[in-house]
Structure 1
Amino acid sequence: MYLFSGLKEQLQSYLDASQVQEVEQAYVLARDAHDGQLRSSGDPYITHPVAVAKILASLHLDHQTIMAAILHDVIEDCEVTAEELTDKFGERVSDLVEGVSKLTQIKFRSREEAQAENFRKMMMAMVEDLRVVLIKLADRLHNMRTLGSLRPDKQRRIAKETIEIYAPIANRLGMYAIRQELEELGFAAKHPMRYRVIRDSVKKARGNRKEIVSSICNNIQSRLDTEHIVADVTGREKSPFSIYQKMLEKVGEKTKVFDDIMDVYGFRVTTDSEDNCYRVLGQLHNLYRPVPGRFKDYIAIPKANGYQSLHTTLKGPHGLHIEVQIRTTTMDQMAENGVAAHWLYKSGNDINRAEIRAREWMRNLLELQKNTGDSLEFIESVKIDLFPDEVYIFTPNGNIIELPKKATPVDFAYAIHTDVGNSCIACKVDGKISALSSELSNGQTVEIITAPGAKPNPGWLSFVTTSKARTNIRHFIKNLRRDDAINLGKRLLEKALGGVSIESVDPDIVKKVLKETRHAEFDDILAEIGLGQTASIIIAHRLDPKVETASHEKKEENVPLAIKGTEGMMIEYARCCHPIPGDPIVGTVSTSGGFILHRQDCNNVANHRAHLDKYVPVQWEKNIEGDFRVELRVDVVNQHGVLAKVTSLIADEGVNIVNIEIDAKDGTTNLLSFLVDVKNRLHLANIIKKIRLYDFVIKVSRHR
């Protein structure tokens, strides 16, 4: 029991004797279950869960969390079941242990997929109970402290995961102290040489800096004492990881990067009230000149993780930059411990600001979970969410919405509500109509204009930054893709059946086919046909064995499939020949699913008549509507204003110009290439006819 004695002393300082007794029972079970197991370092395995429990005990976590920390590996590594834990320690402890345990029973195709699924499981368990992630962070922290016994490649892999996922999660939960230690240990393991160089350079610079830091501290303290403001002033040394991050930002600048970063001095002023924070700020701005644009008020507008503080940068003695954080003692405690401050400094049911923000974030995680297709996509979305360098945007009513840097009005729309994002068609930024892709800045007021029946644009994915916007747009596209796939699959199958409607097929035969193909519903089969994953002729033959023979006999007589034009994700128009309504066309199924349309005279489908198994005869549907891309080439005499006149004429015809290229053929003539969107061949013919009327035009043609 010698291992437990140190933990027991910690627990007795804040837990009841009966609760300490329960923790001791959990220790005995874990010790016996891990008996004979060793860590990579050669230490008995039980040393690890006890160390994890000690980290959590330092934050004054409740006895159930401490018990779960001690037991967190028994389900995964020992012959102990969740039912046994429930019987001995209750359902809550068992649920916490299960939330932290990995998915060892399931086989995955790759390590990345397994890690992603384990991460998703942990995040969903965290939504149920925040203590799950606190145990996992403590577990990761101790593993990082003892990483030295592992192979270098394994150290680097674990360190990368720690820096990319676990440190940002600690930051999102407002746990600055744990985040900083995870980052430092991760940096030391991932880039050992860089870490040592920066650490040694900091040590060399430290001697010269002590006097400067001490002098500035005394100046600030003296000024505050004179004004009778009770405050504590401390100088802070930058950590090797934060120096490294700053150096990465400055790569490419013609400057002594390390020296410049070391010339920035950090100080923290803690005082007793919010009012005094602003009084301190006033005194500091009188003492040293503030640097314009470098003041941030996180007290009035806290960060996404609940962090509160005033940040200002000043020009100190000898022109040195001084970065100062001003906060109350309570804010300082919250900044260090975040959601854990709920247990460390509060009692009863009080919930701190960091915990309120964490719960909001977790509600967003639930929405992500519902809309993402797989674990890898989920982890990608959460990663985006874990690195918010915030901007604060106002709604027309004056409410503040926090968004990551480079966020757009579309991100803002989805942050208000999913339905607002889905039906967004335009926006006003500070009262002026603005592009949906424009980058938002701090303090702007954004109004979203919506329309009933409007749908997300797949093109938004190229500029949105928040995981909520990205996930909801992707979710819509997936549903759109499936609907289009079902419609296309139905038409292909009915064509393969010789024009017979699917609804007229015997339901018993349909049930038989579903059983044979192991599908739950016929729409799944139709979707596979539409996506090119299943040949329509095979399903048609299952539904009616006579179909295959008939199709071979009448291949040339088949009625072409009518193409409706802009059918979302399922119809692609070949870029090699740009078919438009009125052109004779032929279709082929793409490798990624869907239909690619070519003109029949396109070189890429020259052998389509010899390979009717690969190509499908298609035709344009009557009264087709939409915009179709085509390349128009105009040979002109090289003279002033030619491009403007041709461009103006095309625009006047209601045509969208996608791209323009100019090729100077010789000194006297130019070739103008326009990529434009037209309605059909007649529309194109009218444009060509009008361009030919210009006397400077030598030749107009559609590029084939």
Structure 2
Amino acid sequence: MVYFAGLKEVVDSYLEPAQVDDIGRAYEVAEAAHEGQMRSSGDPYITHPVAAARILAELRLDHQTIMAALMHDVIEDTEVTKQDLADQFGDQVAELVEGVSKLTQINFRSKEEAQAENFRKMMMAMVQDIRVILIKLADRLHNMQTLGSLRPDKRRRIARETLEIYAPIANRLGIYKLKEQLELLGFANMHPLRYKILQASVTKARGHRKAVIEKIQEQITKRLKEAHIKGMVLGREKSVYSIYRKMRDKVGTFNEVMDIYAFRVITDSEDSCYRILGQVHNIFKPLPGRFKDYIAIPKANGYQSLHSILQSKQQVRIEVQIRTELMDQMAEHGVAAHWLYKTGNSHPAEHKAREWLQSLIELQQNADNSLEFIENVKIDLFPDEVYVFTPKGKIIQLPKGATPVDFAYAIHTDVGNTCIACKIDKQFAPLSTKLTNGMTIEVVTALGSKPNPAWLSFAMSGKARANIRSFVKNMRRDEAVNLGYRLLEQSLAKNLDSFEVEHLEQVAKTINYDSFEDLLAAVGLGRIASVLVAHRLNMDDPQEATPDLGSVSSQPSEPIAIKGTEGLVVKYAKCCNPIPFDPILAYVSAGKGFTVHRQTCPNVKRAHKQNDRYVPIEWSPDVVGEFTCGLEIEVFNGRGVLAQITSIISNQEINIVNVKIDELDGDINILNFEVRLKDRAQLASIIKKLRVVPFVNKVQRHS
């Protein structure tokens, strides 16, 4: 229990003794599970979950969250199972741990897809229990605090992910305390040189600013006392990352950003907030268009405060934020305030967070894959917002740059899908118009109208983009199914209705499609040749004779090379010598079968676009045998060169069929080998070995 003392001190301050005992048991399980494991820094691994749990304890979260944080890596990294945790600590704790755990034992096509799927799983777990993301944010924060032991490229990758995903999520949930720490650490690791320069500049400027800050603070405090209004005035420093972002996006220079002096006034009621605003405007001149009332209209994450930019008589610019104590705590803790203030009432941040989480379910349903889902979520994580009105006066929050199409989908999915026009402030306007604060939008719909794919070029919100994409995909699928139906009937030279439905479905499953409709869509999209499907239907149909394309009446005894060509004559074009698993297509000859070409073959590269006899085909995954291939090796002349090259090729279990030598001017020869090998992997291996030979100048495949 050596690492538990610091955490116990924090949880003792607000949890019941029995709950602290449960946390102690969770620590013992985590310590035993991670025994012997070390972090890349050299520290025992248990220090990481303890640090994550302490971050959450300082936010005063419930004991189940602290327990799950302590054990958040045991399912992934140890032999402990979810059921083990459920038996010892209950289903809720086990679900939390499983929601935070990364995906394992699943094969993905790319690292990006794996990360996106992990993120999708985490977000869906968050919809069920928001504490999942709180644990993940604490986990990420401690990882960011201990990035120093990793390689620079890995540090930058993790820092970028933190700035693009985790800090915006903390912001979206209103947890500014975590958001600012994640941003600062992300910036320091993403751009270390820029961070050091800015940090040094801020430290230097701080000394010059002290007297000005104290004077302004004194002026505001004095005025509030005279007006008998309760209020605590605090000088507020901008974070280094906030300064960097403003320099990059808006202002341009460090001095211009630092010319703004920021203050926060904390008071006891909403009424006092507005009274303080009036007093501050009496002292300093407010700048036009620089006042924002987030109390009357809270931000999307529930944040509430009055913001005003002012200017003193000495031309000093001042930024003032005015809020109540509860608003200030909500700004710091966001959804975590649900556990900090157990009043039974729903706080704005919690209410807004739940609305956002519900929207994630719709994004998930309309996304084809995890990469698309994460793209839509990223759009909704943009911090800037636009506030517009419905004709009845309801306020709708949209991302900055949103259009009437986004507004329509925000009202309801059906309104978006049937939208044909819009009115902005009672005047007709294009659907691509960018909305600004205060506009009143009226959507014109028509029964039977459908989304326009062109809307994707200007729709901004994740909900709008997901729904438009979903419709476009379904529309394309319907067209593909209809085209596939026509192509297949053309290849069959008879009506598909003559086949039993069970037979059609069975053939689809044999070719690894879930349904015959999926197979028709694949034919229409050109993913599988209609002649192959027609052959399969006829071959498996007892009423039909062998089709015209086939001259082989029996099944081959060895695995076939080309998928779906059982009973067909298959030849390999000598002009390009395709080998497994080259991208290929086939030229179909009635009565002669298939001639297989590489897609890059010069003889068909241009012709197949104008000739419907060329069809895309695929290699069978279990293809065996040897295939002819050409190798062109450019070598420097020397004694024994040919013998050494021949030896290297033979040692790779590749049969040499023929060798031709072309002599060039100077000391270079071209060796043209005709070899027999298994597939592209074996070809790549021999090319790699030949390229490192000192006297080899160039190696390439030759048809």
Which residue does 1:324 correspond to in 2?
320
Pick aligned residue for 2:278 from 273, 282, 288: 282
Is residue 194 of structure 2 the alignment partner of residue 194 of structure 1? yes
- What code does the residue aligned with 1:413 have? A
Contact 2:538 2:547 in 1 (8 A): no
Does the 8 Å contact 2:171/2:383 carry over to 1? no
Counterpart secondary structure, 2:443: strand
Q: What is aligned with 1:260?
A: 256
- The alignment partner of 2:224 has SS state of helix
Rounded Cα–Cα distance in structure 1 between residues aligned with 2:612 and 2:418: 43
Partner residue, 2:507: 513
User: Measured at CA, do residues 232 and 536 of structure 1 come closer, stay the same or move farther in structure 2, by a change above 3 Å?
Assistant: same
3-state SS in 2 of match to 1:19: helix
CA distance in 2, matches of 1:295, 1:519: 59
Question: Corresponding residue for 2:108?
Answer: 108
Identify if the C-alpha distance between structure 1 residues 490 and 281 changes in structure 2 by more than 3 Å, giving closer, same or farther: same
Tell me the CA shift for residue 551 of structure 1. 7.8
Cα distance change, pair 283–492 in 1 and its aligned pair in 2 (3 A) = same
Are the structure 2 counterparts of residues 4 and 539 from structure 1 closer, same or farther at C-alpha, using a change threshold of 3 Å? same
Match of 1:462 among 457, 461, 465: 457
Aligned to 2:311: 315
SS at match of 1:295: strand
Unpaired segments of 5 or more residues in structure 1?
554-587, 589-603, 617-704
User: How do 1:280-359 and structure 2 match up within 5 A?
Assistant: 280-344=276-340, 346-347=341-342, 349-359=344-354
Does the alignment pair 1:502 with 2:510? no
Number of the residue aligned with 1:31 = 31
Among 398, 405, 429, the residue aligned to 2:400:
405
Residue 386 of structure 1 pairs with residue 355 of structure 2: no
CA distance in 2, matches of 1:390, 1:235: 26
CA change 1:152–1:612 in 2 (3 A) is closer
In the alignment, the residues of structure 2 paired with residue 455 and residue 146 of structure 1 have an alpha-carbon distance, to the nearest angstrom, of 51
Give the partner amino acid of 1:532: G
* SS of aligned partner of 1:126: helix
In structure 2, what residue type is equivalent to 1:247? M
Query: Does the 8 Å contact 1:117/1:375 carry over to 2?
Result: yes
Using the alignment, how far apart are the partners of 2:498 and 2:525 within structure 1? 24
Deviations 1:295-324 (A, max 9, x none): 000000000000000110001242121111
Residue 610 of structure 1, CA deviation: 8.8
Distance in 2, matches of 1:443 and 1:356, equals 23
After TM superposition, give the deviation of residue 34 of structure 1 in Å.
0.6
1:291 match: secondary structure: strand
Count of aligned pairs:
561
Alignment of 1:421 with 2:413, yes or no, is no
The CA deviation at 1:40 is 1.1
Secondary structure of 2:322 counterpart:
strand
Q: Deviations over 1:578-605 (max 9, x none)?
A: xxxxxxxxxx9xxxxxxxxxxxxxxx99
Q: Secondary structure at the match of 2:289?
A: coil
**Which of the numbers 518, 521, 533 marks the counterpart of 1:539?**
533
* Residues 540 and 547, structure 1, Cα contact 8 Å, conserved in 2: no
**Pair 1:367–1:606, CA change in 2 (3 A):** closer
What is the alpha-carbon distance in structure 2 between the residues aligned to residue 23 and residue 438 of structure 1? 54
Match of 1:450 in 2: 445
- CA drift of 1:508 comes to 5.4
Match of 2:361 in 1: 366
**What amino acid is aligned across from residue 496 of structure 2 in structure 1?**
I
The answer to whether 1:480 aligns with 2:488 is no
Structure 1 Cα separation of the partners of residues 609 and 372 of structure 2: 42
Partner Cα separation in structure 2 for residue 56 and residue 552 of structure 1: 70
Q: What is the match of residue 86 of structure 2?
A: 86
The SS at the match of 2:377 is: helix
Cα distance change, pair 23–607 in 1 and its aligned pair in 2 (3 A)? closer
Cα separation, 2, equivalents of 1:200 and 1:612 = 68
Give the structure 1 partner of residue 267 of structure 2: 271
- One-letter amino acid of the counterpart of residue 392, structure 1: Y
SS of alignment partner, residue 292 of structure 1: strand
2: CA distance, partners of 1:259 / 1:265: 12
Contact kept, 8 Å, 2:335 with 2:349, in 1: the verdict is yes
- Give the corresponding residue for 2:574: none
Counterpart CA distance in 2 for 1:226 and 1:419 is 56
AA of the residue aligned to 1:329? E
**TM-score w.r.t. structure 1 length?**
0.77
In 1, Cα distance between equivalents of 2:154 and 2:229: 52
Contact 1:496–1:551 (CA under 8 A) maintained in structure 2: no
Show CA shifts across 1:125-154 (max 9, x none).
000001000000111111111111111111
Matches within 5 A, 1:512-591: 512-545=506-539
Q: Tell me the TM-score normalised to structure 2 length.
A: 0.77
Distance 2:407 2:321 in 1: 29
CA–CA separation in structure 2 for the residues paired with 1:101 and 1:143: 15
In the superposition, relative to structure 1, how do residues 608 and 481 fare at CA in structure 2: closer, same or farther (>3 Å)? closer
Matched to 2:372, the amino acid is E
- Runs of 5+ unmatched residues, structure 2: 552-586, 588-603, 617-703
Separation of aligned partners in 2, 1:16 and 1:193: 47
Q: 1-side partners of 2:269 and 2:343: how far apart? A: 23
Whether contact under 8 Å (2:390, 2:396) holds in the other structure is yes
Letter in 2 for 1:374: N
How far did 1:38 drift? 0.8
What corresponds to 1:430 in structure 2?
425
Contact in 1 for aligned 2:529/2:615 (Cα 8 Å): no
Q: Which residue does 2:9 correspond to in 1?
A: 9
> What is the Cα deviation at residue 224 of structure 1?
1.1
Aligned partner letter, 1:312 = S
Equivalent-residue separation in structure 2 for 1:238 and 1:462 (angstroms): 36
RMSD: 2.1
Amino acid across the alignment from 1:315: Q
How do residues 113-132 of structure 1 correspond to structure 2 at under 5 angstroms?
Answer: 113-132=113-132
Q: Distance in 1 between matches of 2:162 and 2:72?
A: 19
- Report the Cα offset of residue 516 of structure 1: 2.1
> Quick one: structure 1 residues 235 and 608, their matched pair in 2 at CA, closer, same or farther if it must change by over 3 Å?
closer
The answer on whether the counterparts of 1:290 and 1:313 sit within 8 Å (CA) in structure 2 is yes
Give the drift of 1:608. 7.9
Give 1:342 shift: 1.2
